[in-house]
Amino acid sequence: MEKLIITAAICGAEVTKEHNPNVPYTVEEIVEEAYNAYKAGASIIHLHVREDDGTPTQDKNRFEKCINGIKERCKDVIIQPSTGGAVGMTNDERLQPIYLNPEMATLDCGTCNFGGDEIFINTENTIIEFANRMNELGIKPEIEVFDKGMVDMAVRLHRKGYIKAPLHFNFVLGVNGGITATPRDLIYLVNSIPVGSTYTVTGIGRNEFNMAVMGIIMGGHVRVGYEDNIYMSKGVLAKSNGELVERVVRLAKELGREIASPDEARKILNI
């Protein structure tokens, strides 16, 4: 089996210090959390950024400061800015970090409910626009999938030439409004992607580590981090993103899967 790529989603847009005081907001905190995850074995940092008060932002300058800081501390890590941002942001707002020419960025491939009254909107034309911008800049998209129809959307846009092979998917299972975090549904997603694609598995909340194990044993890759889950176990907060990544490294070792370095991840993902 290929080595395991671990992505750390260190910050997200929804979780706050009220949920876990270690959620990073400031540039310094974000850089420190990226370093904790990298040191523990993450080769990709999935990046959202915040204002100092925790407000999610897609501001290019704020991203630049965080990316520069992360590159200084984690010299070879792959930085993957979010183009999803937070619910309610405009497309132009969301696209800002791609103009910093990152190696990767997310490409959210459909609309879904996002808990409560929230709707995360990605129309077909939005997805095409984002894919076109990323192609122009030579950025590898990570196709974000919250439900099965998003795989089909990505495959259709791939056939039309908007998304280039080899495709790389991130299956996010367990969002309120998305596909459930069950082995049955993960297998359904994995069986629906084109041969030669790669995929990462992300389980939300208490499903984070169950889904990580599925990703490890099925030959996929794994994402963990505060964006998706803030606990080590029921009621026990993770002290850092590093602690979450360390557990994935331990599980992978127990299950006989080696961990990919950032350069090995680049080869696996064809970056």
- The residue type at 89: M
CB of 214 to ligand KMH, least distance (A): 21
Site for Zn ion in 63-82 (CB under 5 A): 82
- Cβ-contact 164, 135 below 8 angstroms: yes
- Which is nearest to 76 in space by CA: 270, 260, 210? 260
Question: Shortest gap between Cβ of 228 and ligand KMH (angstroms)?
Answer: 9
Q: Quick one: 82 or 126, whose CB is closer to Zn ion?
A: 82
Longest CA pairwise span in the chain (Å): 47
CA atoms of 48 and 37, how far apart (whole Å) = 15
| Stretch of 31-39, 76-84, 187-195, 242-250 contacting ligand KMH, by CB under 6 A | 76-84
Q: Please name which of 204, 196, 198 lies closest in space to residue 229, comparing C-alpha atoms.
A: 204
144 binds ligand KMH (CB under 6 A): yes
Q: Which member of 7, 106, 122, 240 binds ligand KMH (CB under 6 A)?
A: 106
**Does residue 108 touch ligand KMH according to CB under 6 A?**
yes
Contact 134, 141 (CB under 8 A): yes
Contact 140, 271 (CB under 8 A): yes
Of positions 4, 5, 8, 13, contacts ligand KMH by CB under 6 A: 13
Which position has the token pair 């990709």?
Answer: 44
Question: Min. distance of Cβ 266 from ligand KMH in angstroms?
Answer: 20
Among 63, 120, 171, 199, binds ligand KMH (CB under 6 A): 120
Nearest to 127 by CA among 109, 144, 114: 109
User: Which residues are near ligand KMH by CB under 6 A?
Assistant: 13, 82-84, 86-87, 106, 108, 114, 120, 144
User: Which residues are near Zn ion by CB under 5 A?
Assistant: 82
